[in-house]
Amino acid sequence: MIVRYATYEDLNTIVALEKLSFPFTTWNKTQWEYEFKENPCAHILVLEESKVFAYIDFWLLYEQAEICKIAVVEPLRRKGAGSILLKEAMKIMLENGVERINLEVRTNNYAAIELYKKFGFEIVQTKEKYYEDGQDAYQMIWKGETCPR
């Protein structure tokens, strides 16, 4: 498996993965184009073998970072792709002086919550009706105490 920075040529694949992974909160192609072209804080990594099957989108904001999205195509979930992407993203974040990482995750996304906990993230609050479909979210924060290498 290869982790690399996404390019504009990956846009259609990322949009397709987005629709499969986040049916209630899908970013459209225009929003992803903005992320690629206009957002200087955005960093998008993809994981591929013969084709792209996972991505992570995160922002670097001085000493903080925000993980916006991690998506892995269904047949390959729970097989380590999310860990690979998160580890690589955190490496980039730490190289850029990040001391704190924020994210939101659906309260019923148990696999993602366990992944984040494995990497040292802690739940700090529940955001009620955070998502468009009314689902709650946990805000999770990593403060630099632990990070799998």
Instruction: Give the C-alpha separation, 18 to 123, whole Å.
Output: 25
* Residues contacting 44, CB < 8 A, separation 6+: 5, 6, 10, 14, 35, 36, 55, 56, 57
Structural domains of the chain in order of their starting residue, each with its CATH number: 2-142 (3.40.630.30)
Per-residue pLDDT band at 87 (split at 50, 70, 90): very high
Kindly give the pairing relationship between strand 52-61 and strand 42-48: antiparallel
Q: For all residues of the chain together, what is the average pLDDT?
A: 89
Over the stretch 26-47, which tens digit does the pLDDT of each residue have?
788 999 999 988 888 899 999 8
Q: What is the mean pLDDT of residues 17-31?
A: 85
The answer, yes or no, to whether residue 145 has pLDDT greater than 70, is no
136's CB contacts (< 8 A; 6+ apart) are: 106, 107, 126, 127, 128, 129, 130
Q: Is the pLDDT of residue 25 over 60?
A: yes
What is the percent of the chain with per-residue pLDDT over 70, rounded to a whole number? 97
Strand partners, 60: 65
Q: What is the pTM of this model?
A: 0.89
pLDDT of residue 76: 74
- pLDDT bracket for residue 11 (50, 70, 90): very high
What is the rounded CA–CA span in Å between residue 128 and residue 74? 27
Sequence-ordered list of residues with C-beta below 8 angstroms from that of 83, at least 6 positions apart, any chain: 115, 118, 119, 148
pLDDT in tens, 68-80: 999 988 777 888 8
Instruction: Give the sheet arrangement for strand 42-48, strand by strand.
Output: 2-5, 42-48, 52-61, 64-72, 100-106, 137-142, 122-127
Band of the pLDDT at 56, cuts 50, 70, 90? very high
Position 83 confidence tier, pLDDT thresholds 50, 70, 90: very high
Q: Whose CA is closest to 114, among 83, 84, 145? A: 83
89-106 average pLDDT score = 94
CA distance 98 to 129: 29
